[in-house]
Copies of this chain bind each other. A is one copy, B any other.
Amino acid sequence: MHTTVQLQQILETAIKNLKFPASPQQLYDPITYIINLGGKRIRPLLVLMATELFGEDANESINAAMAVEVFHNFTLIHDDIMDNAPLRRGKATVHEKWSTNIAILSGDVMMVEANKNLAKVNSIFLKDVLDTFNATAQGVCEGQQLDMEFEERNDVSIEEYINMIRLKTAVLLGGALKLGAIIGNASEKDADLIYQFGENIGIAFQLQDDILDVYADPEKFGKQVGGDIIANKKTFLLLKAFELAEGQNLEELEVWTKLTDFSINEKVETITQIYNNLNIRNIAKETMDAYLSKALNLLNQVNVNDEAKKDLLTLTNQLMNRQY
């Protein structure tokens, strides 16, 4: 068994050892580039932690962890094209630095690289691992599709929103944990429980992101506070505000989300004030807490001793206590 810090070291070494062909250089350079932009490596860490949760060595699932990390980075490249994003972690996105065509194709070949890593998994688990990985990858694509569709719609319900973030971000956390559990030789029941744990944690994380976008400490937050408000992003907060607002609050929401020319600070202040009027922060926090609590209840049912669950709980708490 390894500590979380040790698992992170195993991951960093494995990521450093990921080898891609030297040519065509323009196809493979973006892969090295995006992977080395960093990130918290939460998803591959969850793979390893789940394997150790069930008493097997994390090195057994390192290839699955790499598959998850490479896949995740592939989705970032393609999402950035679709979202027309200029920056990723403060650096130029792949389509900006190279071209859209190269970003499409490098992404495609990353998906293949992810699958190559997956194929290295112990053949006893291979079929289960593939099924879990493919179902996860499919969910992520569906989530991105819904996210794009929601941009064009004005009738997105909270329920639809939760389902979208479940697919777009939470299933990959669930999938990562389930992959690790399968390789850790978990029972089917436990593998499903840990998957559900991950999905619920993932939804809680995204709700926390929605809250932090508005209420984070600007000194610590890595990006502009209110970015979602400026972009009219249909977050839990905005959807809930539209659901609850009446009279002047509703009128102002409608005016400000339709304006094309506005003072950024004034828009952020006004919408934040409407959120405050409607108690949106607390409602979002209660919803987030409900998913967190559901997740913890599911983890509690996993049939291993509490000691083995400690690191996963600590990680969850750390991630849920971000102030930025």
Contacts and interface: CB of A to CB of B under 8 A. Distances in A.
Q: How many copies does the complex hold?
A: 2
Interface in A41-99: 78, 81-82
A264 interface: no
Interface in A108-163: 108-109, 111-113, 115-116, 118-119, 123, 126-127, 130-131, 134, 137-138, 141-142, 144-146, 148-149
A254 to B, nearest CB: 27
Nearest to A84: B101
A169 to B, nearest CB: 16
A26 interface: yes
A317 B82 CA distance: 44
B141 A109 contact: yes
A: interface residue count bin: 35 or more
A165 interface: no
A111 B111 contact: yes
Contacts of A113: 138
A104 B78 contact: yes
A105 interface: yes
Contacts of A78: 104-105, 108
Contacts of A24: 142, 145-146, 149
Interface of A: 21, 24, 26-27, 78, 81-82, 101-102, 104-105, 107-109, 111-113, 115-116, 118-119, 123, 126-127, 130-131, 134, 137-138, 141-142, 144-146, 148-149
